[in-house]
Homo-oligomer: A and B are copies of this chain.
Amino acid sequence: MATKKRTTIKDVAREAKVSIASVSRVLNGSGGVTPETQEIVRATAARLSYVPDNAARSLITGRTNTVGAVLPDLYGEYFSELIRGIDLAARARGLHLLVSSSHDGVDAAAAAVRAMRGRVDGMLILSEFVDAAFLEANLPSDLPAVLLDSPVKSTRYPALNIDNFAGANAMVRHLLDLGHGSVALIAGPRGNFDAQEREKGYRSAMASHAPKAALNIVAGDFTEESGYRAGRELLAQKVRPRAVFAGNDMMAVGCLYAFREAGLEVPRDIALAGFDDILIARYVTPPLSTVRVRIADMGKSALLMLAELMDGSGPPAASIHTLGCDVVVRDSCGERHIRAGL
């Protein structure tokens, strides 16, 4: 279809009265061609609006100039920012982007990864289903890849992670500094890597800045609904906490609704903070203090890393890079100013 009867290099060669080799040389800038010949070839190619066939080119060069991005079924805002970061960086390097999202299980993820074989020169993988065995089984050993936000300590692939620990730690510390004697945590889903790191950050901040205060952790699963339930659970405790740190913004929003429903005013009666800085955070009442994650940067950095890997000049395999977060202080935690860059 696409390549039904396009003009080929032969047509150009014939029209330009040169050999196909010369045409190839000119169009690839391989040098060794007279300026005059170059001119003729270029003109003819333009006249016939010749476009080299990528399949043929890939077949012989072994390169596709395409990178693949495998992403899970994830929440809109995060996804689009990430993709944008990746796409921009890819375009800047003349690379195309093949995406595959929405995988709801290991098998789907594996299929997605495998389907990209031979179509891409490198891959960006972000999936909770990825582990060392998964990679071993589904990735050709010679295909460069970069792992995003992954717990895998692979010896073969570099990983790029968000500093969930530091972000959570900083936010809890901030809450504590504000004078809220003790902070409760609404945890994220058990198996989730981000959730675990954030919880660790919470524990660490509590241990170092409020060693006498008891830990107060209620369960959640990153959904608004679970945040709402957690909020009610918190209010039912004998002593109502002074501040709550939710493992992500959606839960914070749910929690906010629970508080509002109970007639409490945030932050006067109880302080609240989230994590992610999703768009909504700015628009709820009161605006939510949260931890901003620079997703687009992560996409960009990941692509750059992958590109280097593909050039053979990349970072040592197994390196783990970490991207910082910013504490964004809005109204929900009881103070107003911005503390950035940790």
Chain A: residues with Cβ within 8 Å of the partner, total of: 56
Known contacts: A77-B77, A80-B80, A140-B6. The answer to whether A100 contacts B97 by CB under 8 A is: yes
B279 & A64 in contact (Cβ 8 Å cutoff):
no
A232 on the interface (CB 8 Å rule)? no
B279 & A63 in contact (Cβ 8 Å cutoff):
no
Produce 1/0 per residue, A59-81, CB < 8 A to B.
10011101000000100110111
A136 to chain B, nearest CB (A): 12
Checking B53, B73, B80, B119 against A77 with a beta-carbon cut-off of 8 angstroms, the contacting residue is B80
Produce 1/0 per residue, A103-118, CB < 8 A to B.
0000000000011111
B101 & A66 in contact (Cβ 8 Å cutoff):
no
A91 on the interface (CB 8 Å rule)? yes
A59 & B59 in contact (Cβ 8 Å cutoff):
yes
A164 to B174, CA, bound (A): 46
Stretch at the interface among A24-32, A190-198, A280-288: A280-288
Checking B2, B53, B55, B140 against A142 with a beta-carbon cut-off of 8 angstroms, the contacting residue is B2
Known contacts: A87-B102, A121-B1, A143-B2. The answer to whether A55 contacts B59 by CB under 8 A is: yes
A310 on the interface (CB 8 Å rule)? yes
Question: What are 19 pairs between A and B in contact, CB < 8 Å?
Answer: A1-B62, A1-B144, A2-B122, A6-B118, A51-B117, A53-B118, A54-B55, A54-B117, A55-B55, A66-B98, A76-B81, A80-B80, A84-B102, A87-B101, A91-B100, A96-B119, A98-B98, A99-B99, A253-B283
Q: List 4 tightest A-B contacts by C-beta distance, closest first.
A: A55-B58, A76-B80, A80-B80, A55-B59
Interface residues of A (CB under 8 A from B): 1-6, 51-56, 58-59, 62-64, 66, 73, 76-77, 79-81, 83-84, 87-88, 91, 96-102, 114-122, 140, 142-144, 253, 279-280, 283-285, 310
